[in-house]
Structure 1
């Protein structure tokens, strides 16, 4: 498949997708009428629960979900009869304003009344939906307020201090009772004959799960490495990608083995209710342990390719150990919280049991934050020496400082009695570090994948794809980050609902759906425009008799028209009313008239250049004494490449309003002129024949019109001749002139013709007077030397002639 075919296929795909989304958005607007009677019942009950504030959080969340569904229906119902309402409003506007003096005819008045009545009938469902939407929105706001207040009260609740020794014996007794009860119940369950018979019946399943689990745990890493090597098939590119796949296999297959072992335990039927709860959560805890271990290996690996931070080689094992210990403590905290929930521990016992895990987690968090901060300082110093900064290092430095602060404040708040505050600081910070590490690892994987596909490093290819992928990963991590720090799922859905609601600009509502439709339709139109330009440039225009400049003008014109139509169609498909932008366009026209007049002038001049084509790409032109070749004509300026190989950007207005010399417009023919002089006394007829033969014998000189030699006149130093010749390519004029001048010198030397040069003879009047003056000056200087007692060498007579009375003391010229 050729590149043109692939491009055409992508264009059709984008167009089909945009049309599908456009149709889906249009169908979504045609919603059925909501059942307002049922809604009134639900809304009344919800308002009563909000006023009482006695319902549980789960009941409020369920009620909120129901009200949110109703609100979406009301939002869709607001667009009912939109086309009919727009048509009626246009008909009323066509009638014009009603005269104040009452001179309107009865027929027009009756028609206006009918239209207003129909408009009111069509707008009634819309107004009712808007009122119901406002009521639902108020109910949702009330439920969110109650839940947030309860969360804040629970977080800031002052509880028992875990450092109070009074609470320790009771906590120890409760923990001991929990484990003894679990063990006694499992022993009793195993000793029951019915359970034993059920275990014997399920023995094949248990054995199968055990074999699968053991094999995956024992051989999983080997299988992952062998499978990736087979997939790699000897290629040397994409080492980072295949290493990433191997690392995934190293944790995924053993994790599946753990899950198989848990299934084997569950298949025995010996577990009890509390053990079932723990067993159901074991896959999640195992996933946490394996996932953190994998992230630590990827972020702080032994090789030079480090996904998170460029730590020194000796510090990377420490970072991995700290990360794995934090994962273990995180799982232990979840296990203890589950036991507390199952057995209903008192607040005193819960604080005492969870406090050691919190303190250890905070200590390891502080150590890891200090390690990250030191690494960021080292990386920043290296980057500063190289004269460049690294955002990742600065971010790691900030994250390390925050982690250290949390590692100190968290245990202190828990020890005082604000245990929920300590937990809300320490454990979300651990989860945040894991999320940041995951984003960095995935971004490095995308860079390696880019290298595998294109065969070069992303930094060297200057590709925008890895940067965009990292940005998209960061955006995708924001909802997870919000959930980690206590946000509810309802908060995220509320943000999405507000985004779907959009914003109103006049009579137009802009929503994410309309924006997506606009972007996709414009992308499809732009791709079709580029496809048409490519077809014209490569297939259609080369078969015509138009020159290259005309072809480039047509291609550029098609591009401008296509982009303009793509914008209009995209805006219309998105449901945006351009008439509401009339005021904005009027305000912009004032700015265009003053501040943007040069830009508009250049734009219009660019259109004129493309239509009239006084110059074209590849033409040799002269502008303000500067010669060059036209390389590109855009809507604002023209790029001229001079013969000194630098680009000169010329505003299009200067080319339209100024004087431009085009040496190659229409064809490359051009005339050259060579001036030459011969000495007086030369046979002028002979010189003329020699010059004419030199011009005729050159390969670049046309014989129709034939070259000519003109006897220009009698100069001050020579007899002046001029050669006039038309060349096939005037761009070669300088080389032709140089060659012909060489031939002129050679032929004149062979024929004994002299090429004179300017000479001047100097004649002196009354030289005897000048000689007497020199002698008198010389005698005077000798008498002065005798009176002063000095003996000087003979000075130059030229010095005496020039009046210089100083005599050189070093005797340089005798």
Structure 2
């Protein structure tokens, strides 16, 4: 019975195994697939998905889509796809490097006629070749997808350019039928607008009254809050101080800039809050939301342009004006700008209403036709204004005309807009009018920003700003430091102006936000210069990492020096060597991590290293020699910071040892920089090498009438009495010589600190002088006899000189031995022959 059960069980297992044969094959394939490296498997999956997506995008591009927004979205997807292909190639590089390393381990295949390899080696070589072929195939596919995506992207760019040009150059015939159709369509549009707004008001008032009141109440609270915050915090930035009759240029720039930006931001915040609250309470419909959004955009643009014009022209406060306009000219230009802004805002709002209501395009054309003609006439009128201040500088007097080029530009723009509009090119004329206002406003803000940055950079100006005043009160920096901070602040302002201003201008000239994002992404992540790819983000990350590691190194140095080594009572020179070595090691590690974080391939630096080696061989020998010598000095420490050394004609204290040179401070407080190679190759005397023990010698002379033994005893007592003189070894006094006018002695004392040598010598000399004076021992000074010889002097002259000297003998009779000396040899003067160059008397 047991055997029967066993046979049945075996048959069941055999049947089950036969049924699972396909599954076993699939499992075997999975195992084979799982043998692939994860990077290869992931790359193959991503590549297959990207190829499928590329086919879909290609079909969408080839469908001749005319929607610009759709084209922009397709372009963004294609760029993302190309970036993914680049990432796939980067992910396969480590696998390929590993295969190359394994191939290097296997070595080259045996030459012809050589013994055959082992079967295992042959199999391993074939497997590596297969893996390399697979990776090369994946890389080729990724490159093909990237090339195709880039070509499609270029096609989209060309199509968008053509679409933009067609939109601007589209011509609409201007005739009576156009105005008849526009009048009929406008009447229908007004009825539709009244019906839509009326139905919405009736519905909300009937069914959403509570929600409407709540949203209105909260909107009023929001507006009140923005107004209070604005008057409390923003007012001091935008209000012109009436007491300041002569504000500086920087103050005028600051007020003009913030008086344009902050009120516009406040108005935008208020409108956004109202729309958000009404949407949250489900009060708005989609069409009403679009209408309110268009109205908000028109009001925000109107406020911005008006505030910029007021900030620059200051029509009512000429002392805050930024440009040299007369009062009358500034007011006229300001009012003309307001008129153009109101017309443009009305045209924009009416165009949006027509688009929302689905009105015929003819209504928008007629509205833009009227608006552009009016704006063109205003520009022509502005060219006839005379706003410029005369040579006398009186802003209240009648002004002069514009500069010639400005007047011509205004006239051509105005007349050109009128001609284009009447010729049917209303779209192009409208585009010009919008750019004159919007782009002009942005350029004005950029100008104010740049001028503010340059004004902050001027010496002494940053300290006058609010930020500068706070920094001065808190940190009390020097004037030079404040100017340096002002220079950095000015550069930051310039960079911010470019970062904000350029995208705004691009948006006005047909670019989309996605285009700008793509440009920024490419600029930050991938800049192609020839065959070199540079990533600004990687470089920035590497730089930040390098600076961070250097700061950590400095903090670690300070902690180690002030905590660990200071408590261990370590020698200052040893502490300096350890601190310096750690600093250099930290900088090297920080540079290595910074380069790796920046994404720079170190293997590509081999050529640079070769060129550097060649440069070292020709011109950098001394630098490398000093560098290596500095490392030797830090390691061997023949001298250290604080030691008193002497090398050549230089003598002083070692202040700092770097890898290139050593700084020695002389006794005159002069810093001498000595290259390290000279200290390694030359002779250096170090008074503090093993210890600070030193000797001081004092020379002294005594008169010949002094007792030498007494002098020796006195000098020894004086030496032993000094507190800094060591007793072991004891001081030594020697009677060294018989001098010309004195008995010469020397006192040799030993000191624990050789640096106190000068002070000890001074004390010993003072003590010796006082003791010798008290003991009556003379310290003689050198004496010498001086004899004068008169050559070739007649006897009569000598007698006259003798008589003359006798007449004045009361003063210097003891020294009048000239005549006697002359007559000492038989009363006859010596008649020696004169030497060369000496004349006879």
Q: Indicate yes or no: 2:760 matched with 1:736.
A: yes
- Paired residues of 1:319 and 1:368 also in contact (CA < 8 A): no
Q: For the structure 1 residues 568 and 771, does the alpha-carbon distance in structure 2 shift closer, same or farther, using more than 3 Å as the test? A: same
Query: After the TM superposition, which residues 178-577 of structure 1 pair with which residues of structure 2 at under 5 Å, given as runs?
Result: 195-196=201-202, 198-208=204-214, 210=216, 221-222=227-228, 224-225=230-231, 277-291=290-304, 311=322, 326=337, 329-330=340-341, 332-340=343-351, 342=354, 344-345=361-362, 350-357=368-375, 360=378, 410-411=413-414, 413-415=416-418, 417=420, 419=429, 420=431, 423-424=434-435, 427-435=438-446, 437=448, 448-449=466-467, 452=470, 455-456=474-475, 460-461=481-482, 462-463=484-485, 466=489, 469-470=492-493, 472-474=495-497, 476-477=499-500, 478-496=502-520, 498-499=522-523, 502=526, 511-512=535-536, 514-515=538-539, 518-572=542-596, 576-577=600-601
- Paired residues of 1:80 and 1:125 also in contact (CA < 8 A): no
Which runs of 5 or more structure 1 residues have no equivalent in the other structure? 1-24, 161-165, 230-239, 376-399, 779-796, 806-814
- Paired residues of 2:329 and 2:388 also in contact (CA < 8 A): no
Q: Indicate yes or no: 2:164 matched with 1:141.
A: no
Q: For the structure 1 residues 749 and 195, does the alpha-carbon distance in structure 2 shift closer, same or farther, using more than 3 Å as the test? A: closer
Match 1:32 to one of 39, 42, 46: 46
Counterparts of 2:109 and 2:570, CA distance in 1: 60
Aligned partner of residue 681 in structure 1, secondary structure: coil
Q: Indicate yes or no: 2:693 matched with 1:669.
A: yes
1:41 corresponds to: 55
Q: Indicate yes or no: 2:738 matched with 1:727.
A: no
Counterparts of 1:630 and 1:299, CA distance in 2: 61
Counterparts of 1:196 and 1:72, CA distance in 2: 53
2:720 corresponds to: 696
1:754 corresponds to: 778
Counterparts of 2:321 and 2:627, CA distance in 1: 51
Q: For the structure 1 residues 415 and 709, does the alpha-carbon distance in structure 2 shift closer, same or farther, using more than 3 Å as the test? A: farther
User: What is the Cα deviation at residue 142 of structure 1?
Assistant: 1.5
Q: For the structure 1 residues 553 and 291, does the alpha-carbon distance in structure 2 shift closer, same or farther, using more than 3 Å as the test? A: farther
- Paired residues of 1:199 and 1:267 also in contact (CA < 8 A): no
Counterparts of 2:92 and 2:276, CA distance in 1: 57
RMSD over aligned CA atoms reads 5.4
Aligned partner of residue 46 in structure 2, secondary structure: coil
Aligned partner of residue 35 in structure 1, secondary structure: helix
Counterparts of 2:613 and 2:265, CA distance in 1: 63
- Paired residues of 2:719 and 2:725 also in contact (CA < 8 A): yes
- Paired residues of 1:68 and 1:140 also in contact (CA < 8 A): yes
2:704 corresponds to: 680
Query: After the TM superposition, which residues 636-647 of structure 1 pair with which residues of structure 2 at under 5 Å, given as runs?
Result: 636-647=660-671
2:127 corresponds to: 114
User: What is the Cα deviation at residue 583 of structure 1?
Assistant: 2.7
Aligned partner of residue 32 in structure 1, secondary structure: helix
- Paired residues of 1:537 and 1:551 also in contact (CA < 8 A): yes
Q: For the structure 1 residues 213 and 189, does the alpha-carbon distance in structure 2 shift closer, same or farther, using more than 3 Å as the test? A: same
1:72 corresponds to: 83
Q: Indicate yes or no: 2:102 matched with 1:91.
A: yes
Q: C-alpha deviations, 1:467-497, integer Å up to 9, x for none?
A: 6643652453243443344444454344345
Which runs of 5 or more structure 2 residues have no equivalent in the other structure? 1-38, 236-250, 394-402, 421-427, 457-461, 802-818, 823-833
- Paired residues of 2:625 and 2:677 also in contact (CA < 8 A): yes
- Paired residues of 1:695 and 1:707 also in contact (CA < 8 A): yes
Aligned positions, number: 710
2:640 corresponds to: 616
Higher mean Cα deviation, 72-81 or 344-353?
344-353
- Paired residues of 1:414 and 1:421 also in contact (CA < 8 A): yes
- Paired residues of 2:538 and 2:599 also in contact (CA < 8 A): yes
Counterparts of 2:383 and 2:663, CA distance in 1: 59
Q: For the structure 1 residues 251 and 26, does the alpha-carbon distance in structure 2 shift closer, same or farther, using more than 3 Å as the test? A: farther
TM-score, L = length of structure 2: 0.69
Q: For the structure 1 residues 408 and 34, does the alpha-carbon distance in structure 2 shift closer, same or farther, using more than 3 Å as the test? A: farther
Higher mean Cα deviation, 85-94 or 682-691?
682-691
User: What is the Cα deviation at residue 291 of structure 1?
Assistant: 4.8
User: What is the Cα deviation at residue 598 of structure 1?
Assistant: 1.2
Q: For the structure 1 residues 436 and 213, does the alpha-carbon distance in structure 2 shift closer, same or farther, using more than 3 Å as the test? A: farther
Counterparts of 1:147 and 1:87, CA distance in 2: 45
- Paired residues of 1:369 and 1:401 also in contact (CA < 8 A): no
Counterparts of 2:786 and 2:710, CA distance in 1: 34
- Paired residues of 2:302 and 2:345 also in contact (CA < 8 A): no
User: What is the Cα deviation at residue 678 of structure 1?
Assistant: 2.5
User: What is the Cα deviation at residue 591 of structure 1?
Assistant: 0.4
Counterparts of 1:56 and 1:731, CA distance in 2: 88
TM-score, L = length of structure 1: 0.71
Q: For the structure 1 residues 102 and 47, does the alpha-carbon distance in structure 2 shift closer, same or farther, using more than 3 Å as the test? A: farther
- Paired residues of 1:411 and 1:422 also in contact (CA < 8 A): no
User: What is the Cα deviation at residue 699 of structure 1?
Assistant: 2.7
Higher relative contact order (CA 8 A, sep 6+): 1
Q: C-alpha deviations, 1:525-556, integer Å up to 9, x for none?
A: 43443343233212222233531111111121
Q: C-alpha deviations, 1:337-375, integer Å up to 9, x for none?
A: 34246263476763442243366579889999989xx99
User: What is the Cα deviation at residue 711 of structure 1?
Assistant: 1.5
User: What is the Cα deviation at residue 642 of structure 1?
Assistant: 2.4
Counterparts of 2:665 and 2:840, CA distance in 1: 57
Q: For the structure 1 residues 545 and 359, does the alpha-carbon distance in structure 2 shift closer, same or farther, using more than 3 Å as the test? A: farther
Counterparts of 1:492 and 1:803, CA distance in 2: 101
Counterparts of 2:733 and 2:387, CA distance in 1: 90
Match 1:602 to one of 593, 603, 626: 626
Counterparts of 2:663 and 2:40, CA distance in 1: 46
- Paired residues of 2:644 and 2:652 also in contact (CA < 8 A): yes
Q: Indicate yes or no: 2:73 matched with 1:62.
A: yes
Counterparts of 1:560 and 1:66, CA distance in 2: 47
User: What is the Cα deviation at residue 758 of structure 1?
Assistant: 2.7
User: What is the Cα deviation at residue 101 of structure 1?
Assistant: 5.0
Counterparts of 2:633 and 2:384, CA distance in 1: 68
Greater gyration radius? 2
- Paired residues of 2:305 and 2:441 also in contact (CA < 8 A): no
Aligned partner of residue 129 in structure 1, secondary structure: helix
Aligned partner of residue 704 in structure 1, secondary structure: coil
Q: C-alpha deviations, 1:709-758, integer Å up to 9, x for none?
A: 22221122322222212234333332332333233333333333222223
Counterparts of 1:370 and 1:549, CA distance in 2: 72
Counterparts of 1:315 and 1:670, CA distance in 2: 84
Counterparts of 2:158 and 2:740, CA distance in 1: 105
- Paired residues of 2:57 and 2:74 also in contact (CA < 8 A): no
Counterparts of 1:442 and 1:206, CA distance in 2: 47
Higher mean Cα deviation, 198-207 or 721-730?
198-207
2:29 corresponds to: none
1:808 corresponds to: none
Aligned partner of residue 677 in structure 1, secondary structure: strand
Counterparts of 2:385 and 2:113, CA distance in 1: 86
2:141 corresponds to: 128
